[in-house]
């Protein structure tokens, strides 16, 4: 479990990757990690039922002097809050969950296992679903399908960031996203606050208009590069996705060299978090995104997924956006045949500690997230990872 959040372990003098200890023999285990990674580990252990995990968590916390009140760190800053959106902390009207009487932040989807963000592009030229939801009735139907499939967030986008995409004016982008957000807001689960709306934009005026129309989250592919965007987010006190990118739209001729892609991206995001702090953005409202496909090779994108747990060092929830991207060409998948590869990567990202996954195929990726949660013991929403019939009742028909 500690490796899933970025730490490491050695079992009985062996590396953790060298295999399991046979026969249930008890052997010493040496754990290594940052304080943030240990707190994330404690969160996972406390979420598991049975098996003595709570006792193990208590022992680790006692040895490290980490009280249970310190709480989970994935998505939590030293200030003690977790990512949230909407009205101020403690306001019962905040979407996504009610604050408790003690003023704790509401319980948003990404604080309770891996959340699924469904992509709803209202563009003619997005690389996967361009033109599919341009008509308002198609956008509403698409959002309803996503909600039915179990998404936690609907991400509305009005400008493609694919290589060679045509630029879109502020007015044109607003004309695309605002009516869509207003319409999606009428979907019952969204109106009730069970599903949030985010807007995928790099333009401050679009973000401001989207928030006024009912968006809950800003998803900025430029990582708050524009001071005006930082001002909008700070004023709205809303959650924001801060993505690592070298250019948007993507410039395929930009071929950067990283000393260590994970370490370099973490340090770059740390600088963006500092800008957010200076602008007055609540750190508890920031979600980080390593930016797969934006200035990374396929190998680097896969490495980022494999090591996603290391981003817990930033004390922010982590979003992975990998859906149908060119990285899957490295495993011989054509652009029209990347759904299954995307679902496989979703399961891996969720298992390794991603707090959100941004995907096009909602039902398939929801299932992948739920299976990963069942495997690591964090299945939410009424599922029973310990259930099932041991006498063969669940076996397939002969």
| Sequential DSSP letters for 269-326 | HHHHHHHHHHHT--GGGEEEE--TTSS--HHHHHHHHHTGGGGGGG-S-BEEE-TT-G
Spatial separation of the C-alpha atoms in residues 79 and 67, rounded to whole Å: 15
325 has catalytic annotation: yes
CB 341 within 8 A of CB 361: no
Strand partners, 10: 15, 30
* Catalytic pick among 48, 325, 338, 352: 325
Q: What are phi and psi of 4, to 5 degrees?
A: -70, -20
Check if the beta carbon of residue 293 is closer than 8 Å to that of residue 250: yes
Closest CA to 6 of 348, 333, 311, 283: 311
Contacts with 318 (C-beta within 8 Å, 6 or more apart), sequence order: 74, 287, 288, 289, 290, 308, 311, 312, 353, 354, 355, 356
| Contact in structure between 264 and 258 (CB atoms under 8 Å) | yes
- N-term to C-term CA, the chain: 36
Q: What does the alpha-carbon distance between residue 57 and residue 39 come to, in Å, rounded to a whole number? A: 10
**Would strands 356-359 and 115-121 be described as parallel, antiparallel, or unpaired?**
parallel
Catalytic residue among 39, 296, 358, 366: 358
Element (H, E) at 209: helix 204-213
Name the residues annotated as catalytic: 325, 358
């Amino acid at each position: 479990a500690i490796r899933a959040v970025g730490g490491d372990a050695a079992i009985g003098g062996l590396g953790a990757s060298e295999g399991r200890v046979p026969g249930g023999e008890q052997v010493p285990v040496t754990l290594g990690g940052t304080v943030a990674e240990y707190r994330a580990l404690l969160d996972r252990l406390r979420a598991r039922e049975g098996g003595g995990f709570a006792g193990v968590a208590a022992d680790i916390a006692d040895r490290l002097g980490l009280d249970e009140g310190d709480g989970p760190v994935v998505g939590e800053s030293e200030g003690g809050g977790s990512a949230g959106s909407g009205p101020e902390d403690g306001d019962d009207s905040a979407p996504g969950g009610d604050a408790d009487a003690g003023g704790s932040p509401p319980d948003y989807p990404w604080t309770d296992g891996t959340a699924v963000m469904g992509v709803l592009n209202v563009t003619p030229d997005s690389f996967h679903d361009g033109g599919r939801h341009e008509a308002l009735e198609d956008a509403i139907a698409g959002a309803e399908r996503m909600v039915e499939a179990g998404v936690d967030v609907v991400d509305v986008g009005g400008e493609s960031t694919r290589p060679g995409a045509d630029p879109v004016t502020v007015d044109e982008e607003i004309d695309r996203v605002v009516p869509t957000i207003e319409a999606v807001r009428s979907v019952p689960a969204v109106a009730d606050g069970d599903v949030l709306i985010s807007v995928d934009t790099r333009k401050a005026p679009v973000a401001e208009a989207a928030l006024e129309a009912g968006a809950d989250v800003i998803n900025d592919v430029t990582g708050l590069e524009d001071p005006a965007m930082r001002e909008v987010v700070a004023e709205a006190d809303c959650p924001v996705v801060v993505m690592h990118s070298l250019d948007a739209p993507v410039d395929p001729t930009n071929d950067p060299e990283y000393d260590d892609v994970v370490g370099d991206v973490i340090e770059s995001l740390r600088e963006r978090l500092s800008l957010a702090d200076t602008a007055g953005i609540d750190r508890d409202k920031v979600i980080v995104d390593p930016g797969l496909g934006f200035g990374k090779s396929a190998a680097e994108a896969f490495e980022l997924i494999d090591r996603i747990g290391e981003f817990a060092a930033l004390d922010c929830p982590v979003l992975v956006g990998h859906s149908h991207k060119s990285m899957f060409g490295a495993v011989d998948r054509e652009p029209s045949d990347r759904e299954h590869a995307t679902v496989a990567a979703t399961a891996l990202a969720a298992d390794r500690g991603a707090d959100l996954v941004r995907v096009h195929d909602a039902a398939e990726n929801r299932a992948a997230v739920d299976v990963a949660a069942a495997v690591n013991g964090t299945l939410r929403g009424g599922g029973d990872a310990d259930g099932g019939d041991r006498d063969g009742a669940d076996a397939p028909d002969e």
